[in-house]
Amino acid sequence: MAKPKSKAKRQLGYDEAQRAARYITTQAGFRPGARPRVGIILGSGLGAVARSLEGAKQIPYRRIPHFPRSTVVGHAGELHLGRWSGVPVAILAGRMHLYEGYTAAEVVFPTRVLALLGVETLIVTCAAGGIAPQAAPGSFLILADHINMQGQNPLAGAHDARWGARFIDMSQAYDPALRRAARNTAAALRLKCSEGVYASLLGPSFETPAEIRALRRCGADAVGMSTVPEVIAARQAGVRVLGIATITNRAAGLSRQPLSHEEVLEMGKTTSENLIRFLDTLLPKL
């Protein structure tokens, strides 16, 4: 006798995102003008940044319909809604990664929900290994461009026009005006900051020295395991994007220290204070 077929896993599409957005709206009880205009995705070890919100309401991911849950240490798995320097903000404290076994649609689901909530500007932060000489541990890298080496794209597969166009222009994925404002803010605060190209690999293993040499020849200034899927989905939805990488370590082969996730988390905590100062000054300009 043939075994019964297992039930196929339902894809996270537009209808599921709408249900998640409606739940969040109900729980938050948004007053007029209080819907989030800016969304922030926090990278590894940067959870303390969420505490800067005024009048914040926290919603665990597990309570939001269809929301995936992060399985990585350093990603709390909470949505924070409130105001930062007077600006309505939604913070995703914890992201999903392809290396956790999630599909590209699951990874970008929270980003798409933010877009449905009304977010117009998305600030994506991440931890990264520095490749360029100026990308030193403890500094920030404003993303000017990226190289997608994860082997996946969240727009691949069946197309739903409600998300936006299928073929989107990525020549200016990171908004030039936002990058200029970020550079000026970093300079005013005298923060160690440069601008460059971020390469995103699948992970979860760190790169080999040979891979880092190859990435350097490709023009990468820093390397990580996230961010790119969310940026692609945000641009499809017409959301402006600013990317900021916290350089937590020198990439493989560029220092004598072995790489570890614990080091990434520790440096993330150390640089959180500077990121808070940076956003305090930047957000009112947006």
Instruction: Examine the pLDDT at 181 and tell me if it is beyond 70.
Output: yes
Q: By percentage, how much of the chain surpasses pLDDT 70?
A: 91
Per the residue annotation, which of 16, 97, 102, 104 is the catalytic one? 97
> Is the bond into 36 cis (omega within 30 degrees of 0)?
no
88-127 confidence digits (pLDDT tens): 999 999 899 999 999 999 999 999 999 999 999 999 999 9
Looking at residue 101, its pLDDT comes to 94
- Amino acid sitting at position 125: T
Catalytic residue of the set 100, 120, 211, 263:
100
The span from the CA of 197 to the CA of 201, in Å, is: 13
> pLDDT-based confidence at 73, cuts 50/70/90?
low
Predicted pLDDT of residue 51: 81
Angle between helices 14-28 and 104-117 in degrees, nearest 10: 50
Question: How many CA atoms lie less than 13 Å away from 94 in the CB half-sphere?
Answer: 20
The predicted structure's pLDDT at residue 9: 52
Q: What's the pLDDT at 266? A: 72
Characterize the bridge pairing of strands 78-84 and 54-60. Answer: antiparallel
Q: Is 261 a catalytic residue?
A: yes
Average pLDDT, integer, range 213-218:
97
Tell me, what's the pLDDT at 263? 67
Average pLDDT score over residue span 48-61? 87
- Catalytic residue check, 225: yes
Q: What was the pLDDT predicted at 254?
A: 83
Among 99, 120, 136, 181, the active-site one is 99
Q: Out of 149, 181, 214, 261, which one is annotated catalytic?
A: 261
Catalytic residue among 44, 52, 70, 139: 44
pLDDT of residue 257: 75
Distance between CA atoms of 234 and 237, rounded to whole angstroms?
A: 5
267 pLDDT band, cuts 50/70/90, is low
In tens, the pLDDT along 136-159 reads: 999 999 999 999 999 999 999 999
Measure the CA–CA gap between 35 and 82, rounded to whole angstroms.
9
What is the per-residue pLDDT across 229-249, written as a single tens digit (0 to 9) for each?
A: 999 999 999 999 999 999 988
Q: With bands split at pLDDT 50, 70 and 90, how would you rate the model's confidence at 44? A: low
Pair of tokens at residue 22: 């409606």
Which residue is catalytic, options 21, 105, 173, 225?
225
Give the CA distances from residue 21 to residues 35, 36, 152, 153, in Å, rounded to whole numbers and listed in that order.
11, 12, 25, 23
Closest alpha carbon to 148 in 182, 213, 98, 95: 98
Q: Taking residues 189-218, what's their average pLDDT?
A: 96
User: Which member of 249, 251, 252, 274 is catalytic?
Assistant: 249
What is the average pLDDT score of the chain?
A: 90
3-state SS string over the chain? CCCCCCCCCCCCCHHHHHHHHHHHHHHHCCCCCCCCCEEEEECCCCHHHHHHCEEEEEEEHHHCCCCCCCCCCCCCCEEEEEEECCEEEEEEECCCCHHHCCCHHHHHHHHHHHHHHCCCEEEEEEEEEECCCCCCCCCEEEEEEEEEECCCCCCCCCCCHHHCCCCCCCCCCCCHHHHHHHHHHHHHCCCCEEEEEEEEECCCCCCCHHHHHHHHHHCCCEEECCCHHHHHHHHHCCCEEEEEEEEEEECCCCCCCCCCHHHHHHHHHHHHHHHHHHHHHHHHHC
- 97 in active site: yes
Does the pLDDT of residue 10 top 60, yes or no? no
Question: Is the model's pLDDT at 285 over the cut of 90?
Answer: no
Residue 99 falls in the annotated catalytic set: yes
Confidence (pLDDT) at 166: 96
